[in-house]
Amino acid sequence: MNRPLLPVLRKRELTIPGRHGVYDFTDNTFDKRIIEVEMKYIGTSFAELRTRARSIAAWLSGFNNSKNLIFDDETDKYYLAKIYSEIGLQNLFKTGEASIIFECAPFAYSITERTETANITTSGQIVTISSSGTFDTPPVITIANNGTSAISTFTIRREELVD
């Protein structure tokens, strides 16, 4: 299995003819993550081996739409994965193996969704939302007016602590 620690950093450079070097516009964003998995399976006969292969193909064909890819050594995380490339199959009488290339979103997601609820009752009230992940995570904010009065102005501002 090839599961890189980090995906490829997206590189944005501009080369100007007649000028030495490059202009570097890299903004520290990451590209998709490629995870390659070697899979092996067995059967009691060649016919059963082919049946298992078709069953695996049916399961993997669901990855045409993003699916959660979870590994046994990190059951609390998942990768949003798709398969675009063909999956070659090697058969040896009662055993088969294949290499599967998953194209994933750059970072792993937590299996456990975290929800924070805050009641805003006064003007200027500050609500702090934090993430325990290792990369900047945009929050999903849902706002509901449970009162009887209309709210005429509302501002959401993002502030970050700098160490």
Q: What percentage of the chain has pLDDT greater than the value 90? A: 26
As a whole number of angstroms, the distance between CA 157 and CA 151 comes to 17
> What helix, strand, coil percent values describe the chain, rounded to 5?
10, 30, 60
pLDDT classification of 163: cutoffs 50, 70, 90 = low
As a whole number of angstroms, the distance between CA 81 and CA 92 comes to 29
Neighbours of 159 (CB within 10 A): 7
Amino acid at 103: E
Q: What is the pLDDT of residues 95-138, one digit of tens each?
A: 888 899 999 999 999 998 888 888 887 777 888 877 777 777 77
The whole-number pLDDT of residue 61 equals 87
The whole-number pLDDT of residue 80 equals 94
Backbone angles phi, psi at 49, to 5 degrees: -60, -45
- Look up the CATH architecture of domain 13-110: Beta Barrel (2.40)
The domain segmentation of the chain, as residue ranges, is 13-110
The whole-number pLDDT of residue 125 equals 83
Q: What is the pLDDT of residues 60-84, one digit of tens each?
A: 888 888 999 999 999 999 999 999 9
Q: Which residue, among 41, 39, 38, 57, has the nearest Cα to 49 in the 3D structure?
A: 41
More confident residue, 71 or 47: 71
Q: What is the pLDDT of residues 132-150, one digit of tens each?
A: 777 777 778 888 888 888 8
pLDDT classification of 5: cutoffs 50, 70, 90 = confident
Question: Average pLDDT of 14-31?
Answer: 89
The whole-number pLDDT of residue 105 equals 93
Residue length of the chain? 163
Per-chain mean pLDDT for the chain: 85
Stated as kind and residue range, the H or E segment containing 46 is helix 46-61
- Say what the pTM is: 0.72
CB 53 within 8 A of CB 42: no
The whole-number pLDDT of residue 114 equals 81
Question: Average pLDDT of 143-161?
Answer: 80
